[in-house]
Amino acid sequence: MEYLDNLNSNQKEAVIHENGPCLVIAGAGSGKTRVLTYRIAHLIKNGIDPYSILALTFTNKAAKEMKNRIEKIVGTEARSLWMGTFHSIFARILRTEGYKIGYPPNFVIYDTIDSKNLIKSIVKELNLDPKIYKENFVYNRISNAKNRLISPLEYKNNPILQEEDTSSLRPMTSEIYKKYTERCFKSQAMDFDDLLYNTNILFAEHIDILNKYQQLFQHVLIDEFQDTNYSQYLIIKRLASVNRNIFVVGDDAQSIYAFRGAEIRNILKFEDDFDDLKTVKLEQNYRSTKNIVNAANSVIDKNKSKISKEVWTENDEGELISIKKSFSDNEEGKIVSNLIFEEKNRNQLTNSNFAVLYRTNSQSRSIEEALRRIGLKYKVFGGVSFYQRKEVKDLIAYLRFSVNQNDEQSFRRIINYPRRGIGQTSVEKIITISNKENISLWEVVTKSSTLLNSRINNLLIPFRDLIISFSNFSKNNDAFSTASHISSNSGLLKELWDDRSIEGISRYENVQELLNSIKEFIDNEENTEKKLDNFLQEISLMTDQDKGEEEEGEYISLMTIHMAKGLEFPVVFIVGVEEDLFPSQMMISSREDLEEERRLFYVAITRAMKKLYLTYSKTRYRYGMLKDCEISRFIKEISPIYLDIENFNVTKSLVKNVIKEKTKNLSPIKKLKISSLPAGDPSQIDELIEGKKVKHHIFGIGTIKKIDLNSNQKKAIVNFKNVGEKTLLLNFAKLKVIN
């Protein structure tokens, strides 16, 4: 069993665990995937039929990668494993057993768009206001109910849910849920949530089917256990209740999906359901430097709801965490792009070594613009590039058409958005007349009384008058005033504001971020022309350069922190670490929410392997206004001994905290020696030579191990007698050579 030689003692303990429930608490970078794959391989090597092993993941990619790794150890037997995502495995079971609850083997699976379209149809049939009963809101409401195993009847009879719907002016939500369920069943269709919901119904109502799969699955293994919701956990608990060979791997410190229904209590209270539980902790981090690991620990320690563990590493101490302050989000983008450029040149790194992480998608805009300006390729994950997002393109289309009424693509985009009753057939008719008469689309609109029937003409008159008013307004006002006027009076902002789902809020924020960029454009003294067409020209040049380049070769990764979970990069930037942004102002109303935000920050920190930058801005454009910002509490929660205090951006209070942290474990005599070091002018940089003894006003006496005078920031590595090795910037360290 040579594969066991690749494991540390804790990993091996988990892998060779024989029978009974086992919880593996896998700290960041501790090799959880290796443990899970080796565990399955070990079971097969010891005679367990692969067909009797159920292994559940959250992504098809993870399942495929693990199965490939297992196959390299045990051979093609691994192909018989029941391994896949929760949805794919339970769909497979429902294909076979679904007839018990009235579904044929060939039932249809609705994706999100299918589901939302059906909800839209039901809202229309019930003569409800689609602006109030937004399909996104209703879809999320139904989804949350199903994940908590609440049926339409239970939903209707639940006074709390009814009160919530009534107070949000959507009292008919329960009726929509009922009809939605009936229509899905009539269409022999299940949505993604139904795959879990109906599996629970199947097992609850048909004990013979449950017993069949309890006997089949001798071993049940779950990856990313902290991300399971109530519905998922109930299924796996039932399946494992006979053999009790349930093996779960997760990290409570990385539970960040409560908004999707994930319940951290599943991992925190796992022992309540399996009292003979064996717990193995994987605490050695193989990914990050000591400073990064310890900084992350110092943050997550502030959470009360957690499983006790101490992640550690044998890796190098590494560089201190750099904190960078900017005076605006625009400057923040420039600082990040310049630092990436410097890091690349100084350390021979490639674009793929870097990641920029942010709390919300709208923050990518200033980073993207700054990277483009200095020619660094990047890729935005978890969505399209900022200027390619639908809601951003919608507003830009309005802006473009207000400046140039011959723009056909913008016309197509805005003619019926927000909806004004001009369907695709009418649009095609306008385009046909335009081509036939060899006139512009706008001319067809302005002459609609003679070229089109009265119904279409009556619908076009308000649109025509709206665009004329926008055009006139733009001629007499700057770009920001015009864009604000158009976004409000077109109905676009209201359309987005009315959708209070997570996705709707994100889209609204993205439009606000576009308005922020326009405000920055006119506030920039370098831009002498501040009209709308000048701004449109600038961003059109940016987006044109962007086409087709992000997918080619090496790129810098830009993504939300949620999207970054499970990834790692040598150099990581976490931007916008400010109060009300990170933690989000919507996540500070309860301790549970704040602790989830702190776990999100922990996840962000632990993506970094070698170097971590935290950036914050003193001001940031929010909703078209320049707002003062405050450094996030999360930065203040990092033990200051892991921060680059020589960086001039760090506050004096943090420096004082460093002295306190550094000396708290020293004897009174040593504290006195540090605090009473003789004063004196610092030595010149050229006097600082490797091997020289030096004095530092905080860290005391030390010996210079290495001097780096070649980079833009001249540095020294000094081994201090009392506090260990530190990397210092010589322009700020004020070192004094001791003869």
Please name which of 177, 109, 120 lies closest in space to residue 143, comparing C-alpha atoms.
177
Q: What is the 3-state secondary structure (H, E, C) of 142-180?
A: HHHHHHCCCCHHHHHCCHHHHHHHHHCCCCCHHHHHHHH
Tokens of 385: 């590039």
In the chain, how long is the greatest CA-to-CA distance? 97
Active site residue 420: no
SS3 121: helix
Q: Which of 32, 69, 325, 633 is catalytic?
A: 32
- Provide the 10 A C-beta neighbour count for residue 105: 10
Q: How far is CA 463 from the centre of its chain?
A: 38
**Alpha helix locations (H) across 477-590?**
479-489, 492-497, 502-523, 532-546, 561-564
DSSP summary character for residue 130: T
The one catalytic residue in 325, 413, 565, 607 is 607
**Does 131 qualify as catalytic in the annotation?**
no
Instruction: Establish whether 164 is a catalytic residue.
Output: no
By the 8 A CB rule, do 66 and 33 touch? yes
Q: Catalytic annotation on 223?
A: yes
Which CB contacts under 8 angstroms, 24+ apart, belong to 89-96?
89/54, 89/56, 90/195, 90/196, 90/199, 90/235, 91/190, 91/195, 93/199, 93/202, 93/213, 94/190, 94/195, 94/198, 94/199, 94/202
Q: Considering the candidates 135, 191, 194, 223, report the single residue annotated as catalytic.
A: 223
Q: Is 413 a catalytic residue?
A: no
Taking the C-alpha atoms of residue 63 and residue 55, their distance in angstroms, rounded to an integer, is 8
Cβ(649)–Cβ(615) under 8 Å? no
Select which of 11, 218, 254, 663 is catalytic: 254
Nearest to 41 by CA among 5, 22, 15: 15
Closest to 396 (Cα-Cα) out of 379, 413, 420, 421:
413
Mark whether 224 is an active-site residue: yes
Dist CA 254 CA 250 (whole Å): 8
On whether the CB atoms of residues 245 and 278 are closer than 8 A, the answer is no
Residue tagged active-site, from 12, 33, 148, 721: 33
Is the previous residue joined to 50 through a cis bond, with omega within 30 degrees of 0? no
Catalytic residue among 224, 251, 263, 597: 224
Catalytic residues: 32-33, 223-224, 254, 607
